[in-house]
Amino acid sequence: MNFKLTCSELQAISHLDDSPTIGELAGRVGVTKGYISRLVASLAKKGFVDISTNGISKNVRLSNNPHAVKLKNILHKRSYMPLSELLQGSGIQVMAVLSTGGADFARLLDESGLSEATLRRYIKKFKNYAMLVCRNKKYEFPRDLMDIRDFVRDYCSYFGVCKLREISPQGRFVASHGFDFLFTLDNEIVLENSHSDRINSYDMFTKPILQKKVRLTGLSAMSGTIPLMLVGNHYFYSSRTLSNEEIAVHAIVADPHSKRNLTYVILFILKTKLDKSRFITISDQYGMNDVSRSILDMLDTWRQPEDAFMPSLSYIKQKAAEYNITWQE
């Protein structure tokens, strides 16, 4: 599934006020029936349209998927904007990064996967149509365009769920981060100190490791630093290299109220001495700010937080001693 949208696909969606036949939709968009047939098939894979057969005719209607409904409303509500040009191709990749929160140029470049020249071109386009603002050297959606942000978020989640089905039917989708996404394999057993080449031999479980863009993360990646008997089998679909800060956040996102997970996140923070400011920034992007701040408050004060989901200080000290991790009160 290719998540990019073409100008013609966006135009076709804008013409779905009823359930036209393939021929009628081709006439509205101004393309041939053969072209529109391929275009509609692509939109169906992306969850934007449903296709029904009526005798020898095929009818196309807008899907009920949230991202489809939101995009149609946006195209109608903001018809004064050239959205067919702005959201096509690489534009949706830039929007996907911004849907996770404000991003400076370096993060946009890293997470969008675009070349510097292409990214600068799209930033200029978006600025010309007031589709982004820049505050404190960070680009973000203007407040009056939250409907576009919400569409992109829903579309990213839909892509993640569909892509995960291709990677492993046993996978459990956890969260999207732009067109990257976090998932787990609950039935997979990983041995202590395991790496990708030490996972059991069942093809259905090892398949994600063989995928080009699938990376170990969360507890699975942390087990290389802190040996764990049984890890959470956390994976991240992305072409990026993950920082320790993002790996730690993924362990929280996978189960925010797991005392076990949070204990190992705290030990990982102490062991790797990760950048706490970056840890909070990434936590914001995943909506985990409250949990992450509770963790850092505990480390800064060494007082037991009031949050019921936080592990006890005595248990953390016990585990730190077991792993020979030093800490200072």
Residue 242's pLDDT is 95
Q: Are residues 172 and 265 in the same domain?
A: yes
pTM of the shown model: 0.88
Domain assignment of residue 39, yes or no: yes
Domain assignment of residue 155, yes or no: no
Q: Are residues 200 and 296 in the same domain?
A: yes
Residue 204's pLDDT is 38
Residue 194's pLDDT is 36
The C-alpha atoms of residue 164 and residue 175 are separated, in whole angstroms, by 11
Read off the pLDDT of residues 101-156 as tens digits, 9 standing for 90 and up.
999 999 999 999 999 999 999 999 999 999 999 999 999 999 999 999 999 999 99
Domain assignment of residue 161, yes or no: no
- Of the candidate ranges 139-148, 190-199, 258-267, the one whose mean pLDDT is the lowest: 190-199
The total of other beta-carbon atoms located within 10 Å of residue 255's CB is 18
Domain assignment of residue 197, yes or no: yes
CATH of the domain at 19: 1.10.10.10
Helices (H) and strands (E) in the chain, counts: 16, 8
Domain assignment of residue 193, yes or no: yes
| Percent of all residues in the chain with a pLDDT value above 70, rounded to a whole number | 90
Q: Give the pairing type, strands 214-216 and 180-184.
A: unpaired
DSSP for 209-237 reads: HHSTTEEE-HHHHHTTTS--SS---EEEE
Q: Is the dihedral of CA 18, 21, 24, 29 positive or negative?
A: positive
Q: Are residues 191 and 305 in the same domain?
A: yes
Closest CA to 105 of 80, 136, 78, 131: 136
Domain assignment of residue 2, yes or no: no
Q: Coil, strand or helix: which one is 147?
A: helix
Mean pLDDT of 247-272: 94
Q: Are residues 184 and 313 in the same domain?
A: yes
Residue 57's pLDDT is 86
Residue 306's pLDDT is 87
Confidence band, pLDDT 50/70/90 cuts, at residue 228:
confident
Domain assignment of residue 271, yes or no: yes
The C-alpha atoms of residue 327 and residue 329 are separated, in whole angstroms, by 7
Residues 6+ apart with CB under 8 A from 63: 47, 48, 49, 50, 69
Last residue in a domain, options 17, 39, 62? 62
Domain assignment of residue 328, yes or no: no
Q: Are residues 78 and 15 in the same domain?
A: no
Read off the pLDDT of residues 59-68 as tens digits, 9 standing for 90 and up.
999 999 999 9
Q: Are residues 93 and 21 in the same domain?
A: no
Q: Coil, strand or helix: which one is 184?
A: strand
Read off the pLDDT of residues 68-93 as tens digits, 9 standing for 90 and up.
999 999 999 999 999 999 999 999 99
User: In the predicted model, is pLDDT for residue 201 greater than 50?
Assistant: no
Structural domain harbouring 76: 66-150
The C-alpha atoms of residue 3 and residue 161 are separated, in whole angstroms, by 12
Amino acid present at 202: Y
Q: Are residues 183 and 265 in the same domain?
A: yes
Read off the pLDDT of residues 28-60 as tens digits, 9 standing for 90 and up.
999 999 999 999 999 999 999 999 988 888 999
Mean pLDDT of 271-298: 95
What φ, ψ does residue 101 adopt, rounded to 5°? 130, 175
Q: Are residues 281 and 231 in the same domain?
A: yes
Residue 263's pLDDT is 93
The C-alpha atoms of residue 49 and residue 94 are separated, in whole angstroms, by 24
Closest CA to 217 of 188, 192, 182: 182
Q: Are residues 175 and 316 in the same domain?
A: yes
Q: Give the pairing type, strands 180-184 and 234-237.
A: antiparallel
Q: Are residues 87 and 176 in the same domain?
A: no
Contacts 24+ apart (CB under 8 A), 301-306: 302/329
Domain total in the chain: 3
Confidence band, pLDDT 50/70/90 cuts, at residue 169:
confident
Closest CA to 268 of 289, 290, 288, 292: 292
Q: Are residues 11 and 77 in the same domain?
A: no
Q: Are residues 72 and 93 in the same domain?
A: yes
